[in-house]
Amino acid sequence: SGLFFVFPSVNIDNWYRLGNQEPRLTFWLILTIFLFYLALKIEKKIFLILAILSSLGVYLTKENGLAFFVLPLIWLIFSFTKEGKSSRKKILIFFLANLILLLLSRAGPYFLGVKSGYLEAYRLDFYWIVKNFRWYFYFLKESFGIFLWLSLFSLIWQLFLVFKGQLKNKTFLIWEVSFLILFLTFFALQLPLILFEQRYLLPATTSLALFLGTSLFFLLEKVSSFRPFFQKSIYFIFFLLIINFLFYNGIRIRNYIGNSLKLNCLNWEMVSYLAQNMPEHTNLYFNFPRGDQGQEYLVNIKKQLPLFFKRSDLKVDYYEKSKTIGESSLLISNPKLLFYPEAL
């Protein structure tokens, strides 16, 4: 799972950027899952308490953190089976605590009058959703390749064994199903967004990495019961697949970093130009098309001006047609000006 978490090229946009919410959400997500796993395995209340407190970080970091709630829901259903009966009390407490935290995290902003950034950025259009699905799935397929299909084969195999009554340890399967549904939920929440960014997939790809790791572990464990010749042959093929995975993702990561660093350098030149040339208390309005990449760089400009150049007097915001442009205001409508500031 760690291998599929660190090396996929689809995640690289998160590893060199500061301030993104996706890495923080992923941290709380992994920590909560780990603590919940310990709470089920170890008879100490402290791990359950810590898991509940950690889940609060999931819900408060970003709005799509609500997708995490499917995990305690799945485990609640599992607790009513024969295998989950022994942990039913812990699972019920974890589920109820998550339900309360989820409601509080959603109700708080609502009563405080804070608008939902996710809902405002949604475009509930069938063709748009299909388009995003195709692009995101392409990136996932390019990053994980054949391991996606091997993991699905492993899951189908296990479900077949359950149907035949031959799977002894169903707890392992529940973890796999939990990770898969968690991935699908995070993935689905990204499809209607008007801004298309690979880095938004990090919580989804983290859940996918956990699913791949657990499902492939089941396959390798089954291979260990094969005859020595077939066992060694399959292990060797699996080793070659891992090498192929690392090689091609390494190439994509190298190319991606080169292009992204170039764009960020250009963006830095824009910020530097604004800081040095704009009069005091100037209002800068950016009027880019919805979904344009320029909006992404605008977020960086708003943070970098006061942090690195001490220009907190410059007000940077999106332009709305209802606003009136005053004498001390500058309207920027061409995203290319981010990369060629001298054109101002």
* Residue 263 Cα to chain centre, angstroms: 22
Instruction: Tell me the whole-structure pTM to 2 decimals.
Output: 0.75
Tell me: the pLDDT tens digits for 216-241?
888 888 887 778 888 888 888 888 98
Are the C-beta atoms of 226 and 299 separated by less than 8 Å? no
Q: Is the pLDDT of residue 343 over 50?
A: no
Give the pLDDT band (50/70/90) at residue 342: very low
Q: Is the pLDDT of residue 56 over 80?
A: yes
Q: Helix axis angle, 202-223 relative to 21-41, nearest 10°?
A: 40
Residue 208 to residue 179: CA distance in whole angstroms? 7
328: left (phi over 0), alpha (psi -120 to 50) or beta: alpha
Are the C-beta atoms of 207 and 1 separated by less than 8 Å? no
Are the C-beta atoms of 245 and 147 separated by less than 8 Å? yes
Alpha carbon distance, N-terminus to C-terminus of the chain: 48
E strand segments, 9-140: none
Q: Is the pLDDT of residue 18 over 70?
A: no
Q: Please give the pLDDT value at position 87.
A: 84
Q: Please give the pLDDT value at position 128.
A: 84
* Residue 128 Cα to chain centre, angstroms: 20
Residue 39 to residue 72: CA distance in whole angstroms? 13
Percentage, residues of the chain above pLDDT 70:
78
Tell me: the pLDDT tens digits for 124-133?
778 888 888 9
Are the C-beta atoms of 303 and 330 separated by less than 8 Å? no
Residue 218 to residue 166: CA distance in whole angstroms? 14
Q: Is the pLDDT of residue 247 over 80?
A: yes
Q: Please give the pLDDT value at position 47.
A: 93
Are the C-beta atoms of 307 and 296 separated by less than 8 Å? no
DSSP 57-71: HHHHH-GGGGGGGHH
Q: Is the pLDDT of residue 254 over 80?
A: no
Residue 240 to residue 40: CA distance in whole angstroms? 36
CB burial of residue 178 (10 Å; 0-12, 13-18, 19+): buried
Angle at 41 between CA 86 and CA 218, to 5 degrees: 95
Q: Is the pLDDT of residue 136 over 70?
A: yes
What does the mean pLDDT of the chain come to? 80
